[in-house]
Amino acid sequence: MHVAVTTHPTAAWTAQQLREAFPCDEAPRYLIRDRDLAFAAVHATAEAMAITQVLTAPRSPWQNGVIERFIGSVRRECLDHVIIFNANGLQRILKSYMEYYNDVSYCPTSLCA
């Protein structure tokens, strides 16, 4: 999992995060994304990485339920219980939460033993 934090996300920054999230030849086959302007430079980057982009309909967050559930979990289980002072602190907390979310919180009991 890749976590990055910035106060001013730009299209170029978002495209760079896509490249960093999938180094080498590990890119996913599909990328589900919305129509936010921050993804303007992602289109060319995704095409260069041979990723097929699937755009959600405007104002339709239910079309990407997986990320909506994850964002809700981060807010309820993590960010509602801490005070963030700076970007480094937020990134550290999010990385820690990602480890918890992926390894402990939602791991079936038979796989965690």
Q: What is the pLDDT along the chain (113 residues), one digit of tens a residue?
A: 778 888 888 889 988 999 998 877 788 899 888 888 778 788 889 998 999 999 888 888 788 888 888 889 899 988 999 898 998 999 999 999 888 887 775 555 555 44
pLDDT at position 108 is 55
34 half-sphere exposure, CB direction, 13 A CA radius: 13
Note the pLDDT of residue 92.
92
Residue-range domain boundaries for the chain: 11-107
- Return the pLDDT at 58: 85
pLDDT for 16:
92
pLDDT recorded at residue 11:
87
**Burial call 64-94: b when 16+ CB within 10 Å, e when fewer:** beeeeeeeeebeeebeeeeeeeeeeebeebb
CATH of domain 11-107: 3.30.420.10
